[in-house]
Amino acid sequence: MLLVALVLWFVGSGDDGPPNGSAGAGASSPAPSITPGPTPSGSAITSRPGGRDESPGEGTGDGGTGTSSGAGAGGGEGTGGSAGSGSGSGSPDGPSAGTSSGTGGDSGRRVAAGSPLPNCAPGALELALSSAKVSYGPDEKPEFRITAKNTSAATCKADLGPLAVVLTVSDDADDEVWSSKQCPRGPRTVWLSVPAGGTVTHTVAWDRRYSTEQCDKPSTRSASPGTYLVEAAAPGQKVLRASITLAKD
């Protein structure tokens, strides 16, 4: 009987619960816990701005420093401005002297009296006087050339006008016939640029008329045929002389 009782107790104790290691139907089991993973370091943005689908490569190397510079496209030769049509200073008319208009010209460039060019020092300027011809026919106007040489090492300006360089014509009796300072009709000043070591020439034409002190009444008397002495006088310069002949025919 004892044995039967032990068997019945053993069987009854095995029906009290589910087998070990299995979950019963409808039984709830505890939810598994979720633990955060390792937090990544650095920014969460892995793409570069501007829409480029590139990510920086990993590594610790320093970026190289660029040494080449692109050649700029600017600085190309532009088209220069068109040259202006400048006009030379001075009177547009040819130089004249005496009581009537004369013909002539200048080999140098005329400049204004107020030009920044310095005035030629008397010691740096050498003047010379010559006549275009030795003898002139009845219908020819004598032409006198005043040449100025700059012996200095710098360009300067010189006034070769009728009042600065006075020309006189005298007859064989040493009587004055004509003077450039008497009632000049042309420009009273003729400023020329004289290059360093260079020369310029101013030409004056004489219409053969006598000078007069009455500038409003030009002389009608003309020089007779014969030999005449031409002189040029300027401050700081020696008197220059040349002779001409007015032929009869």
pLDDT digit string (tens) for the chain, length 249 residues:
555 555 555 555 555 544 444 434 344 444 444 444 444 444 444 434 433 333 333 334 443 443 434 333 333 343 333 333 333 333 333 333 333 333 456 788 999 999 999 999 989 999 999 999 999 999 999 999 999 999 999 999 999 999 999 999 999 999 999 999 999 888 999 999 999 999 999 999 999 999 988 888 888 899 999 999 999 999 989 999 999 999 987
Closest alpha carbon to 180 in 159, 200, 150, 157: 159
- pTM (global) more than 0.75: no
Closest alpha carbon to 135 in 10, 213, 244: 244
Domain 109-246, what architecture?
Sandwich (2.60)
Per-residue confidence (pLDDT) for residue 106, from 0 to 100: 74
Residue 72 identity: G
| 175: CB partners within 8 A, 6+ apart | none
Closest alpha carbon to 139 in 228, 225, 212: 225
Name residue 125's beta-bridge partners: 150
191, 115 contact by CB (below 8 A): yes
In the chain, alpha helices (H): 2-14
